[in-house]
Protein backbone atom coordinates (compact mmCIF):
# COMPACT_ATOMS: atom_id res chain seq x y z
CA UNK A 1 0.00 0.00 0.00
CA UNK A 2 1.04 3.54 -0.63
CA UNK A 3 -0.08 6.23 1.84
CA UNK A 4 0.07 9.88 0.80
CA UNK A 5 0.26 12.80 3.25
CA UNK A 6 2.29 10.63 5.63
CA UNK A 7 3.28 13.51 7.91
CA UNK A 8 -0.38 14.36 8.66
CA UNK A 9 -2.59 13.06 11.46
CA UNK A 10 -4.15 10.15 9.60
CA UNK A 11 -1.18 9.45 7.32
CA UNK A 12 1.21 9.10 10.26
CA UNK A 13 -1.17 6.74 12.11
CA UNK A 14 -1.53 4.59 8.97
CA UNK A 15 2.27 4.51 8.76
CA UNK A 16 2.82 3.30 12.34
CA UNK A 17 -0.16 0.94 12.58
CA UNK A 18 0.38 -2.79 13.07
CA UNK A 19 -0.54 -4.36 9.76
CA UNK A 20 -0.97 -8.13 9.44
CA UNK A 21 1.76 -10.05 7.68
CA UNK A 22 1.45 -9.78 3.93
CA UNK A 23 0.65 -6.08 4.14
CA UNK A 24 3.48 -3.69 3.41
CA UNK A 25 3.11 0.02 3.62
CA UNK A 26 5.07 2.82 1.98
CA UNK A 27 4.11 6.10 3.62
CA UNK A 28 5.16 9.13 1.58
CA UNK A 29 5.19 12.73 2.76
CA UNK A 30 4.42 15.68 0.51
CA UNK A 31 8.15 16.07 -0.14
CA UNK A 32 8.27 12.45 -1.32
CA UNK A 33 5.05 12.48 -3.36
CA UNK A 34 3.24 15.71 -4.17
CA UNK A 35 -0.24 14.77 -5.33
CA UNK A 36 -0.61 18.05 -7.20
CA UNK A 37 2.04 16.89 -9.67
CA UNK A 38 1.23 14.17 -12.22
CA UNK A 39 4.93 13.45 -12.55
CA UNK A 40 5.31 13.01 -8.79
CA UNK A 41 2.27 10.71 -8.65
CA UNK A 42 3.56 8.56 -11.50
CA UNK A 43 7.05 8.37 -9.98
CA UNK A 44 5.55 7.37 -6.62
CA UNK A 45 3.35 4.69 -8.15
CA UNK A 46 6.22 3.39 -10.27
CA UNK A 47 8.63 3.14 -7.31
CA UNK A 48 6.20 1.60 -4.80
CA UNK A 49 4.04 -0.43 -7.21
CA UNK A 50 1.14 -0.54 -4.74
CA UNK A 51 -2.05 -2.58 -4.92
CA UNK A 52 -3.84 0.17 -2.98
CA UNK A 53 -3.30 3.88 -2.52
CA UNK A 54 -4.69 5.50 0.64
CA UNK A 55 -4.93 9.24 0.11
CA UNK A 56 -4.49 10.98 3.45
CA UNK A 57 -3.04 14.10 1.80
CA UNK A 58 -5.20 17.20 1.86
CA UNK A 59 -5.29 20.94 2.29
CA UNK A 60 -6.98 21.02 5.71
CA UNK A 61 -6.66 24.67 6.81
CA UNK A 62 -10.42 25.35 6.87
CA UNK A 63 -10.21 29.10 7.51
CA UNK A 64 -7.17 29.80 5.34
CA UNK A 65 -8.93 28.01 2.48
CA UNK A 66 -11.34 30.94 2.21
CA UNK A 67 -8.40 33.08 1.02
CA UNK A 68 -6.45 30.30 -0.67
CA UNK A 69 -9.31 28.89 -2.66
CA UNK A 70 -7.15 27.99 -5.65
CA UNK A 71 -4.67 25.97 -3.59
CA UNK A 72 -7.47 24.22 -1.66
CA UNK A 73 -9.15 23.19 -4.91
CA UNK A 74 -5.83 22.13 -6.45
CA UNK A 75 -4.93 19.80 -3.56
CA UNK A 76 -8.40 18.60 -2.56
CA UNK A 77 -10.03 18.28 -5.98
CA UNK A 78 -7.77 18.54 -9.06
CA UNK A 79 -4.97 16.49 -7.47
CA UNK A 80 -7.41 13.84 -6.25
CA UNK A 81 -8.73 13.54 -9.79
CA UNK A 82 -5.13 13.06 -11.04
CA UNK A 83 -4.63 10.36 -8.40
CA UNK A 84 -7.94 8.68 -9.22
CA UNK A 85 -7.11 8.58 -12.95
CA UNK A 86 -3.57 7.32 -12.38
CA UNK A 87 -4.66 4.58 -9.99
CA UNK A 88 -7.60 3.49 -12.18
CA UNK A 89 -5.36 3.37 -15.29
CA UNK A 90 -2.86 1.17 -13.43
CA UNK A 91 -5.50 -1.08 -11.84
CA UNK A 92 -4.67 0.15 -8.33
CA UNK A 93 -7.36 0.50 -5.65
CA UNK A 94 -7.92 3.94 -4.08
CA UNK A 95 -9.20 4.87 -0.63
CA UNK A 96 -9.71 8.60 -0.24
CA UNK A 97 -10.56 10.47 2.96
CA UNK A 98 -13.17 13.21 2.96
CA UNK A 99 -15.01 15.31 5.50
CA UNK A 100 -18.20 16.14 7.40
CA UNK A 101 -17.78 19.72 6.10
CA UNK A 102 -19.43 18.66 2.83
CA UNK A 103 -22.69 19.17 4.78
CA UNK A 104 -24.20 22.53 5.72
CA UNK A 105 -25.17 21.34 9.21
CA UNK A 106 -28.77 22.45 8.93
CA UNK A 107 -30.19 18.94 9.33
CA UNK A 108 -31.57 17.88 12.71
CA UNK A 109 -30.52 14.24 12.23
CA UNK A 110 -27.22 12.37 11.95
CA UNK A 111 -25.97 12.58 8.34
CA UNK A 112 -26.06 9.41 6.25
CA UNK A 113 -24.30 8.87 2.93
CA UNK A 114 -27.63 9.41 1.17
CA UNK A 115 -28.05 12.95 2.52
CA UNK A 116 -27.37 15.66 -0.05
CA UNK A 117 -24.13 17.55 0.55
CA UNK A 118 -24.18 21.34 0.57
CA UNK A 119 -20.84 22.75 1.70
CA UNK A 120 -20.83 26.28 3.06
CA UNK A 121 -17.10 27.02 2.69
CA UNK A 122 -14.20 26.63 0.28
CA UNK A 123 -12.69 23.68 2.16
CA UNK A 124 -15.91 21.65 2.13
CA UNK A 125 -16.56 22.61 -1.47
CA UNK A 126 -13.07 21.50 -2.55
CA UNK A 127 -13.36 18.22 -0.63
CA UNK A 128 -16.75 17.47 -2.19
CA UNK A 129 -15.29 18.10 -5.65
CA UNK A 130 -12.56 15.55 -4.82
CA UNK A 131 -15.07 12.84 -3.93
CA UNK A 132 -16.61 12.71 -7.41
CA UNK A 133 -13.61 11.43 -9.42
CA UNK A 134 -12.81 8.79 -6.78
CA UNK A 135 -16.35 7.44 -6.76
CA UNK A 136 -16.58 7.77 -10.56
CA UNK A 137 -13.49 5.60 -10.99
CA UNK A 138 -14.46 2.89 -8.53
CA UNK A 139 -12.59 3.98 -5.40
CA UNK A 140 -13.73 4.30 -1.80
CA UNK A 141 -14.45 7.64 -0.14
CA UNK A 142 -14.40 7.61 3.68
CA UNK A 143 -15.80 10.78 5.24
CA UNK A 144 -14.61 11.44 8.75
CA UNK A 145 -14.85 14.31 11.24
CA UNK A 146 -13.20 16.31 14.05
CA UNK A 147 -9.91 14.41 13.78
CA UNK A 148 -7.43 14.46 16.67
CA UNK A 149 -4.41 12.40 17.64
CA UNK A 150 -1.02 12.42 19.28
CA UNK A 151 1.16 12.87 16.24
CA UNK A 152 0.22 16.09 14.41
CA UNK A 153 -1.40 19.36 15.57
CA UNK A 154 -5.15 19.41 16.30
CA UNK A 155 -7.89 20.81 18.58
CA UNK A 156 -7.16 18.42 21.49
CA UNK A 157 -3.49 19.38 21.53
CA UNK A 158 -4.40 23.08 21.35
CA UNK A 159 -6.77 22.74 24.33
CA UNK A 160 -4.10 20.94 26.36
CA UNK A 161 -1.57 23.69 25.59
CA UNK A 162 -4.03 26.48 26.48
CA UNK A 163 -5.04 24.70 29.70
CA UNK A 164 -1.38 24.62 30.72
CA UNK A 165 -0.93 28.33 29.90
CA UNK A 166 -4.16 29.96 31.13
CA UNK A 167 -6.59 29.94 34.03
CA UNK A 168 -9.67 30.36 31.85
CA UNK A 169 -10.56 29.46 28.26
CA UNK A 170 -13.76 29.76 26.20
CA UNK A 171 -14.96 27.09 23.79
CA UNK A 172 -17.91 26.88 21.39
CA UNK A 173 -20.71 24.75 22.79
CA UNK A 174 -23.38 24.91 20.07
CA UNK A 175 -21.74 22.86 17.30
CA UNK A 176 -22.16 19.08 17.37
CA UNK A 177 -19.95 16.49 15.71
CA UNK A 178 -18.19 13.14 16.18
CA UNK A 179 -14.63 13.57 17.52
CA UNK A 180 -12.62 10.86 15.79
CA UNK A 181 -9.14 9.66 16.70
CA UNK A 182 -6.77 9.49 13.74
CA UNK A 183 -5.59 6.09 14.96
CA UNK A 184 -9.17 4.79 14.80
CA UNK A 185 -9.49 5.94 11.19
CA UNK A 186 -6.27 4.09 10.39
CA UNK A 187 -7.55 0.96 12.16
CA UNK A 188 -10.92 1.19 10.40
CA UNK A 189 -9.22 1.44 6.98
CA UNK A 190 -7.06 -1.57 7.82
CA UNK A 191 -10.09 -3.55 8.99
CA UNK A 192 -12.05 -2.67 5.84
CA UNK A 193 -9.13 -3.89 3.72
CA UNK A 194 -9.04 -7.16 5.66
CA UNK A 195 -12.65 -7.72 4.55
CA UNK A 196 -12.44 -6.32 1.02
CA UNK A 197 -9.18 -5.53 -0.75
CA UNK A 198 -10.94 -3.33 -3.29
CA UNK A 199 -13.59 -1.39 -1.37
CA UNK A 200 -15.72 0.96 -3.43
CA UNK A 201 -18.36 3.57 -2.69
CA UNK A 202 -19.11 6.30 -0.20
CA UNK A 203 -18.92 5.63 3.56
CA UNK A 204 -19.00 7.63 6.75
CA UNK A 205 -16.14 6.65 9.09
CA UNK A 206 -16.41 8.50 12.40
CA UNK A 207 -16.81 7.81 16.10
CA UNK A 208 -20.29 6.49 16.91
CA UNK A 209 -21.15 9.18 19.47
CA UNK A 210 -21.29 12.96 19.47
CA UNK A 211 -19.97 15.95 21.36
CA UNK A 212 -19.70 19.70 21.22
CA UNK A 213 -16.29 21.35 20.99
CA UNK A 214 -16.80 22.33 24.64
CA UNK A 215 -17.43 18.67 25.61
CA UNK A 216 -14.26 17.64 23.79
CA UNK A 217 -12.21 20.42 25.36
CA UNK A 218 -13.38 19.57 28.89
CA UNK A 219 -12.76 15.84 28.39
CA UNK A 220 -9.31 16.48 26.86
CA UNK A 221 -8.28 18.79 29.71
CA UNK A 222 -9.59 16.32 32.25
CA UNK A 223 -7.12 13.77 30.91
CA UNK A 224 -4.05 15.97 31.38
CA UNK A 225 -1.51 14.55 33.84
CA UNK A 226 -0.47 16.22 36.07
CA UNK A 227 -3.91 17.76 36.59
CA UNK A 228 -4.50 21.40 35.67
CA UNK A 229 -6.92 23.87 37.16
CA UNK A 230 -8.60 25.79 34.37
CA UNK A 231 -12.11 27.11 33.89
CA UNK A 232 -13.68 26.19 30.52
CA UNK A 233 -16.44 28.63 29.59
CA UNK A 234 -19.17 27.87 27.08
CA UNK A 235 -19.56 30.32 24.21
CA UNK A 236 -21.74 30.37 21.09
CA UNK A 237 -20.63 30.24 17.47
CA UNK A 238 -21.76 33.87 17.18
CA UNK A 239 -19.26 34.79 19.92
CA UNK A 240 -16.41 33.10 18.05
CA UNK A 241 -16.63 34.23 14.41
CA UNK A 242 -14.32 32.44 11.96
CA UNK A 243 -13.57 33.17 8.27
CA UNK A 244 -15.22 29.85 7.29
CA UNK A 245 -18.64 28.99 8.70
CA UNK A 246 -18.74 25.69 10.62
CA UNK A 247 -21.75 23.31 10.37
CA UNK A 248 -23.71 23.40 13.63
CA UNK A 249 -24.51 19.71 13.19
CA UNK A 250 -21.94 17.54 11.49
CA UNK A 251 -22.74 14.25 13.18
CA UNK A 252 -21.91 11.42 10.77
CA UNK A 253 -23.92 8.21 10.89
CA UNK A 254 -21.40 5.43 10.21
CA UNK A 255 -23.87 2.51 10.21
CA UNK A 256 -23.23 1.72 6.53
CA UNK A 257 -19.56 1.04 7.33
CA UNK A 258 -20.61 -1.45 10.00
CA UNK A 259 -23.28 -3.07 7.84
CA UNK A 260 -20.88 -3.44 4.88
CA UNK A 261 -17.64 -4.42 6.60
CA UNK A 262 -18.47 -5.09 10.27
CA UNK A 263 -16.26 -2.13 11.20
CA UNK A 264 -17.22 0.33 13.93
CA UNK A 265 -14.97 2.94 15.54
CA UNK A 266 -14.68 3.13 19.32
CA UNK A 267 -16.62 5.77 21.32
CA UNK A 268 -14.73 9.06 21.32
CA UNK A 269 -14.22 9.25 25.11
CA UNK A 270 -12.54 5.84 25.05
CA UNK A 271 -10.32 6.83 22.15
CA UNK A 272 -9.48 10.12 23.89
CA UNK A 273 -8.15 8.24 26.93
CA UNK A 274 -5.82 6.29 24.66
CA UNK A 275 -4.59 9.38 22.78
CA UNK A 276 -4.25 11.38 26.02
CA UNK A 277 -2.04 8.70 27.56
CA UNK A 278 0.39 9.14 24.70
CA UNK A 279 0.23 12.93 24.96
CA UNK A 280 0.83 12.75 28.72
CA UNK A 281 3.85 10.53 28.17
CA UNK A 282 5.21 13.00 25.60
CA UNK A 283 4.54 15.93 27.93
CA UNK A 284 6.37 14.17 30.78
CA UNK A 285 9.30 13.40 28.50
CA UNK A 286 9.45 16.99 27.20
CA UNK A 287 9.29 18.51 30.69
CA UNK A 288 11.96 16.05 31.87
CA UNK A 289 14.17 17.06 28.95
CA UNK A 290 13.73 20.79 29.63
CA UNK A 291 14.33 20.63 33.43
N1 LIG B 1 -8.43 17.29 10.58
C2 LIG B 1 -9.75 17.12 10.66
O3 LIG B 1 -10.40 17.50 11.65
C4 LIG B 1 -10.50 16.43 9.56
C5 LIG B 1 -11.89 16.34 9.64
C6 LIG B 1 -12.58 15.67 8.62
C7 LIG B 1 -11.88 15.12 7.56
N8 LIG B 1 -10.54 15.26 7.48
C9 LIG B 1 -9.86 14.69 6.32
O10 LIG B 1 -9.01 13.65 6.78
C11 LIG B 1 -7.86 13.56 5.91
C12 LIG B 1 -6.60 13.57 6.74
O13 LIG B 1 -6.60 14.79 7.49
P14 LIG B 1 -5.50 15.11 8.58
O15 LIG B 1 -6.21 15.68 9.75
O16 LIG B 1 -4.59 13.92 8.72
O17 LIG B 1 -4.74 16.29 7.83
P18 LIG B 1 -3.32 16.92 8.12
O19 LIG B 1 -2.84 16.52 9.47
O20 LIG B 1 -3.44 18.36 7.75
O21 LIG B 1 -2.42 16.17 7.05
C22 LIG B 1 -2.54 16.38 5.68
C23 LIG B 1 -1.20 16.10 5.07
O24 LIG B 1 -1.31 16.28 3.65
C25 LIG B 1 -0.13 16.91 3.22
N26 LIG B 1 -0.29 17.56 1.92
C27 LIG B 1 -0.81 18.78 1.66
N28 LIG B 1 -0.74 19.02 0.33
C29 LIG B 1 -0.18 17.93 -0.24
C30 LIG B 1 0.17 17.59 -1.56
N31 LIG B 1 -0.01 18.42 -2.59
N32 LIG B 1 0.73 16.37 -1.80
C33 LIG B 1 0.96 15.51 -0.76
N34 LIG B 1 0.67 15.79 0.51
C35 LIG B 1 0.09 16.98 0.78
C36 LIG B 1 0.19 17.90 4.33
O37 LIG B 1 1.52 18.32 4.25
P38 LIG B 1 1.91 19.82 4.70
O39 LIG B 1 1.43 19.96 6.12
O40 LIG B 1 3.38 19.84 4.54
O41 LIG B 1 1.17 20.75 3.77
C42 LIG B 1 -0.11 17.06 5.57
O43 LIG B 1 1.03 16.32 5.96
C44 LIG B 1 -7.99 14.72 4.92
O45 LIG B 1 -8.56 14.24 3.74
C46 LIG B 1 -8.94 15.67 5.59
O47 LIG B 1 -9.65 16.46 4.66
C48 LIG B 1 -9.82 15.88 8.47
Residue nearest (by alpha carbon) to ligand 1 atom 40: 30
Query: Does 61 contact ligand 1 (Cβ within 6 A)?
Result: no
Report pLDDT digits (tens) over 192-219. Answer: 999 999 999 999 999 999 999 999 999 9
87 lines ligand 1 (CB under 6 A): no
Cβ of 35 less than 6 Å from ligand 1: yes
Mean pLDDT calculated for residue range 94-104: 98
Cβ of 10 closer than 6 Å to ligand 1, yes or no, is yes
Report CA(124)–ligand 1 centroid distance (Å): 13
Distance separating alpha carbons of residues 205 and 190, to the nearest angstrom: 12
**Which residue's CA lies nearest to atom 5 of ligand 1?**
145
The residues spanned by each domain of the chain are: 2-290
Residue 91 CA to residue 72 CA, distance in Å, equals 27
Q: What is the pLDDT of residues 56-85, one digit of tens each?
A: 999 999 999 999 999 999 999 999 999 999
Mutation pick for ligand 1 pocket among 38, 57, 158 (CB with most ligand atoms within 8 Å): 57
pLDDT at 99: 98
- Tell whether the torsion through CA atoms of 8, 10, 14 and 16 is positive or negative: positive
pLDDT at 13 over 80: yes
Span 165-185, pLDDT tens digits: 999 999 999 999 999 999 999
- Using pLDDT thresholds of 50, 70 and 90, give the confidence band for residue 291: low
Testing ligand 1's pocket by substitution, the residue of 34, 58, 130 carrying the most ligand atoms inside 8 A of its CB is 58
The reply to whether 123 belongs to the active site is: yes
**Tens-place pLDDT, residues 219-265:** 999 999 999 999 999 999 999 999 999 999 999 999 999 999 999 99
Per-residue pLDDT band for 287 (boundaries 50, 70, 90) equals: confident
pTM: predicted TM-score of the whole model, two decimal places: 0.97
Catalytic hit among 123, 148, 176, 240? 123
228 C-alpha to ligand 1 centroid (Å): 31
CA distance 283 to 255: 36
35 - beta bridge partners?
A: none
CATH number listed for the domain at residues 2-290: 3.40.50.720
**Average pLDDT, stretch 100-106?**
97
104-160 pLDDT, tens per residue? 999 999 999 999 999 999 999 999 999 999 999 999 999 999 999 999 899 999 999
Q: How far is the CA of 59 from the centre of ligand 1 (A)?
A: 5
Does the beta carbon of 276 sit less than 6 angstroms from any atom of ligand 1? no
pLDDT at 206 (0 to 100): 98
Strand runs labelled E in the chain: 2-4, 26-28, 52-55, 93-99, 140-144, 147-148, 168-172, 176-177, 180-181, 201-204, 211-212, 231-235
Within 10 angstroms of residue 188's Cβ, the number of other Cβ atoms is: 23
pLDDT at residue 289 tops 80: no
Amino acid sequence: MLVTGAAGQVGSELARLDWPSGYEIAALTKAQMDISSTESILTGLESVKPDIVINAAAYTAVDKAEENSELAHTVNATSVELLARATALNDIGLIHISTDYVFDGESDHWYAETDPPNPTGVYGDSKLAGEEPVLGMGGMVARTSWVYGALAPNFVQTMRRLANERTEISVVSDQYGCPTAAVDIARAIRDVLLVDQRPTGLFHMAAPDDATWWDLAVAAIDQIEPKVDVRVNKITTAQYPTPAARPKNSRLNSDKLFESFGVRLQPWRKALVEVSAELNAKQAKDSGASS
